[in-house]
Homo-oligomer: A and B are copies of this chain.
Amino acid sequence: MFIEMDLQSEVPLYAQLVDQLIEGIASGALHPGDPLPSVRSLAADLGINLHTVNKAYTLLKQEGFLQVHRKQGVVVNAEGMPGVTEAFERKLDAQLKTLAAEAAVRGLSAEAFAEKCAGAYRSAITGGGESL
């Protein structure tokens, strides 16, 4: 598995897992229909509790990223990913505004900020290594 937990991080473990699974889908490491490890085996691999994994799976299921087939277990939603909902747009706008404000105050130019954002998108869909 390409997932690693940072026990020192201020980000909750279940949130780290949610983020990394979405990044896995964005990068193409995970495709619609792909099976995911069971809550117990993934918890064992990561050295965390079963319920922490289950919380992440449940959140991703509620948002439409994952499905649970009674047979195959948990899989990446084979019917496609959720679109740009109003709730996501609100979250995106709010977080971008907070980040942009601090960036501007610290003297990061609009162009430099834009390049950071573009790089983050590129990094997300290629998975990992930064380009220039």
Q: Which A residues have a C-beta under 8 Å from some C-beta of B? A: 19, 22-23, 25-27, 65, 81-85, 88, 92-93, 95-108, 110, 113-114, 116-118, 120-125
Contacts and interface: CB of A to CB of B under 8 A. Distances in A.
A14 B46 CA distance: 32
Given A99-B96, A117-B114, A106 B124 contact: no
A110 B120 CA distance: 10
Instruction: State the copy count for this chain.
Output: 2
B107 A99 contact: no
A9 to B, nearest CB: 9
A121 B100 contact: yes
Given A82-B106, A117-B117, A100 B88 contact: no
